[in-house]
Each structure stands twice: as C-alpha cells, then as structure tokens.
Amino acid sequence: MKKLFQALALLAAFVLLIALPQTAADGVRSALTLCGRVILPSLFPFFVCSNLFLLLGYSARLSARFGGAAAKLLRLPPAAGSAFLLGLLGGYPAGAQAAGTLYARGELSGANAERALAVCNQAGPSFIFGVLGGAVFKSAAAGAFLYAVQIVSAVLVCRLTAKKQYAPAKAVAKPPQPESFAAAFSESVRRAGMSAIQICMFITVFSVLSCYFLLAAGRFLPPEALPLVLGSLELSAGCAALADCALALQWKLCIASALLSFGGVSVLAQSRAAVQEHGLTTLMITHNMKDAIAHGNRLIMLMDGKIILDIKGEEKKKLTVEDLLHQFEKASGEEFANDRALLS
C-alpha cells in the first residue's frame, strides 16, 4: 500500500510539472530569491564560524567553563551547552549540525544528542527579528517576545523529557584533539557550503509544493488558515501568509509561536540532512593495502572468513603499509607474500 501511494504521488508530480510548468518555475524563483537575499547571507558565514568553533576544540573549553550551568538548566551533559548556544545564535539547522558534530566527535552520546536536538534546533534571531519582527509584525518587541517564548519552551521540553538530573560520568573519554587551523578552516568552508546548498534545495522543493497547493486548494481555505497550512510545509511561506492575514495581534503571535515550534516539514528535512551523515556507514572492499590505509576511518582485515585485524581511530590515521604487514604477520602467524595487494 505504501509503495502504491508513493508511485501515485510521484506520477501526480510528473503530471503537474508537465501540465503546469509555470507554477513550478514561480516556486523556484521565489525560493531562490529568498535564499539569495536572506538564507545564504545570514547562514553561510555563521556555518563557517560555528564549524571552526567546534573543530578547533573551543566547544570543550566553553563546556568546561559554563557546562555545569548548562547541565543544570538543560539536564544534559555539559558539551550540549555549546550546541544550545550555537542553535540560539544560528537557527535552523545550525544547532542540529552542532549536535551531530559533537556526537561524531564523541562528546555526546547518541541518546543525549537526540535530546539536545529538541533544545538547540530553533529559529535564529536573524529570522525571528528580521522576518517576523520586521516584516510580519513590524515590531522589534514582538520579535523579542517570540524569541524568548521559543527559548523558554525549548528548555521546558528538554527538562520535562529528562528522566532525572544529568550526572557527569565518572570516567570521561579522552577528548578529541583539535585540528590545525588550516585543516579546520578548509573543512568548515566545505561543511558550510554543503549545508547551505542542502537548505536552499529543501526550501526550493517545498516552495514549489506550496505553489501547487495554493493553486489547488487556496481558494477553498479561509485566509486565516493559510499561514498554518503553508507554514506546516515551509516556515517562510507560512510567515509570508501571516503578514497578509487580517487577524488580531494576539492570534498572529500564537500562530507564529506554533510555526516556530514546529518549523515545518522543510526544516525537519533540513535538520535530518544535517545530522544523518553522522549515522551512515560506508564500506570499501579492497585487496589494495595502500587504498585500505588511505581511505575511511576503520580498517578490518579478513583471513579465511575470520576477522584478524580491526584498526581504527588514531591508530588507523598513523598506520603505514609496513605497520599493517607487521600486524598481519603477528596476527596470522604467516608472512604476507602478495605484492599486488601492496602495489596495485
């Protein structure tokens, strides 16, 4: 049944794109304008800086200084405090990306990283004050109110979902060594570029969907319902509809708070893309020792269908062909005699 529904939905998408190409073009133009004027200028520089902050090891220093307060407030490990701060400053999906990076570096467990997403994956001040406070409500006070409500709500959710007060582990794993500035800068720019492209692509897809939805059902919905419906798909589209909606201020604030707390399907997809890379495993099967050493972060060697070597972490980074040969001979009790595996 699920496959049938997917097939019908995909068929309907092809029909709409062929029958009404101008609607899709309008959605793409609107999304790219939003990305060029708002999203990229505000998020890309912040992504670069936040990745540098994490890769250079400053999150550990921040956690050491303010981690105790963050642990008491959020009932999360001290390391989550830096993700919380980056989320509050950078907005979607900077907080999710920070939580994923801390998990990948071993500073947060999987369970704590998932709980941290509830508190650090929020709309940023540039969006709340610029779009909602400036364009929708034309009031900095309204923007400040929505920003405060969002923070308080996130903290309450995080505290209420905690079974007990977080207690630091007795044995703390050795923190990862900070990268050199040159390596961290290159990696930060690469990650920021990939994240920015992903965000813009998701916004574009959901902008097209919103245009088709308005064309099909817009005339049947009361104007007051459009912000909630469109915002459930794409947050910025819901906010644009809210600006044109003739509702009382208190109702607009309630709808804006609801949209911010959910974020829309587009934001959920962006956040998923920001963190899912840390849960993927890719295997490369090869007989070439040089390739096995050069690629990946873990090397497993098999002999007669059994694992005889499992090398990872810092040991894998420092591994040479000579080291691998020596470990193979020690583990198997045999001399390695296949030159092709070394040189091919």
> Which residues contact residue 300 at a Cβ distance below 8 angstroms, ignoring those fewer than 6 apart?
307, 309, 310, 311
The whole-number pLDDT of residue 191 equals 81
Please name which of 213, 219, 193 lies closest in space to residue 266, comparing C-alpha atoms.
Answer: 213
Q: Break the chain down into helix, strand, coil percent, rounded to 5.
A: 75, 5, 20
The whole-number pLDDT of residue 339 equals 45
Burial of 126 (0-12, 13-18, 19+ CB in 10 A): middle
The whole-number pLDDT of residue 22 equals 92
In terms of residues, how long is the chain? 344
DSSP assignment letter at 244: T
The whole-number pLDDT of residue 25 equals 92
Angle value at C-alpha 114, between 209 and 107, nearest 5 degrees = 130
The whole-number pLDDT of residue 273 equals 66
- Taking only Cα atoms into account, the Rg of the chain, rounded to an integer number of angstroms, comes to 25
Long-range Cβ contacts of 296-300 (<8 Å, 24+ apart): 299/324
Cβ atoms of residues 204 and 270 within 8 Å: no
CA 13 – CA 84 distance, rounded (Å): 38
The whole-number pLDDT of residue 66 equals 65
Cβ atoms of residues 131 and 102 within 8 Å: no
pTM equals 0.60
The whole-number pLDDT of residue 121 equals 73
Mean pLDDT in consecutive groups of 10 residues from the start of the chain, 344 residues: 79 87 90 82 79 75 67 76 75 74 75 75 77 80 88 79 50 53 86 82 87 80 80 80 82 85 76 58 52 68 75 79 79 58 44
